[in-house]
Amino acid sequence: MRIAEVLSRLRAGGAKPAQLQRLLRQWLHAKDSPGGPSAPEHSLSKSLRAEWATLLPELRALVQLRSQHPAQDGAVRLLLGLRDGQTAEAVLLPKDGLCVSTQVGCAVGCVFCMTGRDGLIRQIGSAEIAAQVALARSLRPVKRVVFMGMGEPAHNLDMVTEAIELLGTAGGIGHKNLVFSTVGDLRVFERLPLLAVKPALALSLHSSQAARRAELLPRAPRITPDELVELGQAYARASGYPIQYQWTLIAGLNDGPDEVEGIARLLRGKYAMMNLIPYNRVDDLPWQRPSADRAAAMCAALNRQGILTRLRQSAGQDVEGGCGQLRARQAQGSTRPVRMPPTNHPLTTRTERP
């Protein structure tokens, strides 16, 4: 379902702008959950009350909780059921964050990602994206939403931007706390600057070398790292927020001095932050996680070069560590939390995908 349809049904039921916002807030803040304040229904006309009585249960049913998988760092991976029987993942993050999915499957096919293995299965509607937030808020507060779960938001741009505009208004999320994450697509750089609610932008870089990046992200648009950083700079100026560059750190592949030099060349003097995210090993995929020392050394080398760099961990990495793993496990008939060996990294407070 689209948010546009929700709005048009409420308007057809006679909702005035203030009532519309109040009803949307009731949905998005889970205010009919036990203990929450109820909607001021006495102020609604009979026809609007009747429409809302039908619509709210439909909105609540868009996304349902199939299972929860708590991790040691305070994150909770959620397996969500959609109305057509498909499943998607979301992650409750430490410090009131939520990572949402924008597609079931993904067409980009990053070689290190489970979600990309089966290609795109279907788009997630804008109301289904917002419903992930409403559902998460019935579990705990959500003040930050990152679009880094399953899917490439740029490939579902109408739905994702519709959800962003709702979450940044009736959803009560600060605009810089909405984080649009993409491998880079020209349509993103055209559309985001025009939005009334401008999200922060995260760009998945993974290599400073065009050929290596094309191998890692085989179906991403052919934008070179240099072009991507230039486009990112323009958006940083338009939004006022630094660009967060994402770098899945894979042993022997993109953790060497050549990439340190490449990143420094690309990002020196830019309004940007580099997030190095050591790869979480996935069965059946050949990639390895670099040692903690090597990852820390790369982070230190970049900071010495003047590039603001942080070493991050995927939240909830001890339960089905990368996006798509929980769903893949469910497709095999089991959603039991599978514990991975603890790493010697301290777990940090937010998630980035792989």
**Is 183 a binder of ligand SF4 (CB under 6 A)?**
yes
User: For ligand SF4, which residue has the nearest CB?
Assistant: 116
Give the whole-angstrom CA distance, residue 60 versus residue 56.
6
Stretch that binds ligand SF4, among 21-29, 91-99, 106-114, 266-274 (CB under 6 A): 106-114
Among 115, 132, 207, 254, binds ligand SF4 (CB under 6 A): 115
Beta carbons within 10 angstroms of residue 187's beta carbon? 12
Strands laid side by side in the 243-249 sheet: 63-70, 76-82, 87-93, 97-99, 144-147, 178-182, 200-204, 243-249, 272-278, 309-311
Q: Minimal distance in Å, beta carbon 149 to ligand SF4?
A: 8
Give the whole-angstrom CA distance, residue 354 versus residue 45.
48
Give the whole-angstrom CA distance, residue 206 versus residue 120.
21
Q: Minimal distance in Å, beta carbon 138 to ligand SF4?
A: 26
**Is 110 a binder of ligand SF4 (CB under 6 A)?**
yes
116 vs 125, which CB is nearer to ligand SF4? 116
Q: Minimal distance in Å, beta carbon 152 to ligand SF4?
A: 4
Contact indicator for 260, 300 with CB cutoff of 8 Å: no
**Is 109 a binder of ligand SF4 (CB under 6 A)?**
yes
232 vs 354, which CB is nearer to ligand SF4? 354
Stretch that binds ligand SF4, among 46-54, 107-115, 269-277, 328-336 (CB under 6 A): 107-115
Helix, strand, coil tally for the chain in percent (to 5):
40, 20, 45
Contact indicator for 214, 193 with CB cutoff of 8 Å: no
19 vs 181, which CB is nearer to ligand SF4? 181
| β-bridge pairing 103-105 and 120-123 | antiparallel
Local structure of 333: helix, strand or coil:
coil
**Is 354 a binder of ligand SF4 (CB under 6 A)?**
yes
Give the whole-angstrom CA distance, residue 278 versus residue 354.
9
Q: Hey, which residues between 121 and 150 contact ligand SF4 (CB under 6 A)? A: 150
Among 113, 131, 253, 282, binds ligand SF4 (CB under 6 A): 113
Q: Minimal distance in Å, beta carbon 248 to ligand SF4?
A: 8
Active site residues: 89, 323
**Is 353 a binder of ligand SF4 (CB under 6 A)?**
yes
Give the whole-angstrom CA distance, residue 126 versus residue 150.
14
Strand partners, 180: 147, 201
Where do the H-state alpha helices sit in the chain? 3-12, 17-28, 46-61, 126-137, 157-167, 186-191, 210-216, 225-239, 257-267, 292-304, 325-331
Q: Hey, which residues between 270 and 329 contact ligand SF4 (CB under 6 A)? A: 323
Among 51, 89, 128, 152, binds ligand SF4 (CB under 6 A): 152
Binding-site size, ligand SF4 (CB under 6 A): 14
Residue tagged 């490939």 (tokens): 155
235 vs 279, which CB is nearer to ligand SF4? 279
Q: Which residues bind ligand SF4 (CB under 6 A)?
A: 106, 108-110, 113, 115-116, 150-152, 183, 323, 353-354
